[in-house]
Chains A and B, each alone.
Chain A
Amino acid sequence: MLELIKVNPSSGEPIYRQLHEQIVRLIVGGQLPVDQVLPSVRQLAEHLAVNPMTVSRAIQQLVEQGWLERRRGQPTRVANKQNAPTTSSLQLLAPQANDLISQAKQLGISLDELQVLINQQWNK
Chain B
Amino acid sequence: MDSSSEAILEFNQVDKRFDDKAVLSQLSFSLSAGMVVGLLGQNGAGKSTLMRAALGILDIEAGEIITLGEPAAKLSTEAKAKIGYVPQQPFGYEGFTVASALELHSSFYPEWDKSLELDWLSRFGLEAKQQVQKLSVGQRQSLALIMAMAYRPQLLILDEPVASLDPIVRRQFMSDLFELALESGSAVLFSSHITSDLERVASHVALIKQGELVLFKEIDAMREEVTLVQLAENQPVPDGVRVLNRNQQQVLVDNADQVEIAGVLNKTTLNLEQLFMELHR
Contacts and interface: CB of A to CB of B under 8 A. Distances in A.
B72 to A, nearest CB: 27
Contacts of B202: 51
B200 A53 contact: no
B1 interface: yes
A117 B274 CA distance: 31
B1 to A, nearest CB: 7
A51 B223 contact: no
Contact of B182 (A49, A53, A106): A53
A51 B274 contact: no
B196 A9 contact: yes
A12 B270 contact: yes
Counting chain B residues whose Cβ lies within 8 A of the other chain, the interface size class is 20 to 34
Contacts of A17: 220
Interface string A33-77: 000000000000110011111100100000000000000000000
Contact of A50 (B200, B266, B269): B200
Contacts of B200: 9, 15, 49-51
A10 B171 contact: no
Contacts of B269: 12-13
A15 B274 CA distance: 16
A50 B220 CA distance: 12
Interface of B: 1, 34, 36, 171, 174-175, 178, 182, 195-196, 199-203, 219-220, 223-224, 265-266, 268-274
